[in-house]
Structure 1
Amino acid sequence: MDLDSAREDLVVAAAAGVSTVLLTVVLRFVFDASTNALIQLSPLYVYFIYLFFGDAIPGELFSKPLPWVGITLSTAIGAVALTVF
């Protein structure tokens, strides 16, 4: 594992962690919504897919961290929308 790969993993992990915390805070304190842990932890699922299956996905697009960060953030936004609306 080289330094660039570790940095890319750190970027995706940080996005998943921050998205998970913000998702929980927004659902609980802004919308006062009670959800189960599966919805609250949904951004972490994207990180685990990136971690375990990211190299198996063909194409150059998913070899960079930015699409994974976008998918993680959109998963968190989708979880808020699914819970609130």
Structure 2
Amino acid sequence: MELEDARQDVVVAGTVAGCTIALTLLIRAGVGTDPGALIRASPIGVYAIYLFSRKGTPDLAVDTPRNWAILTVLVTLATLAYAVV
């Protein structure tokens, strides 16, 4: 693994970690109950797709850490809306 690949992984992993923690805390504050494990793990699913899609696939122009981080935030917001409503 090269240093640039490691930096990209840290950017996406850090975003996923922050979104996972924020999602759990916001659901607990908004709904007042403990969210289920599947709901809390939704940002981690994006990271799993990120990791497995980068193995042996051609590099695309849209395959950037920034786009994966944005996707993680969008999935987190959609999950939050689903859990609160």
State the TM-score, normalized to the length of structure 1.
0.89
Report the Cα distance in structure 2 between the residues aligned to 1:52 and 1:46, rounded to whole angstroms: 10
The answer as to 2:38 corresponding to 1:38 is yes
SS in 2 for 1:50: helix
Report percent identity of matched pairs.
33
Question: What are structure 1's unaligned runs of at least 5 residues?
Answer: none
Question: What are structure 2's unaligned runs of at least 5 residues?
Answer: none
Deviations 1:19-38 (A, max 9, x none): 00000000002332443100
Moved over 6 A (4+): none
State how many pairs are aligned.
84
Letter in 2 for 1:79: T
Report the Cα distance in structure 2 between the residues aligned to 1:66 and 1:39, rounded to whole angstroms: 23
5 Å-filtered alignment, 1:3-18, equals 3-18=3-18
CA spacing shift, 1:33–1:78, aligned 2, 3 Å: farther
How large is the Cα RMSD of the aligned pairs?
1.6
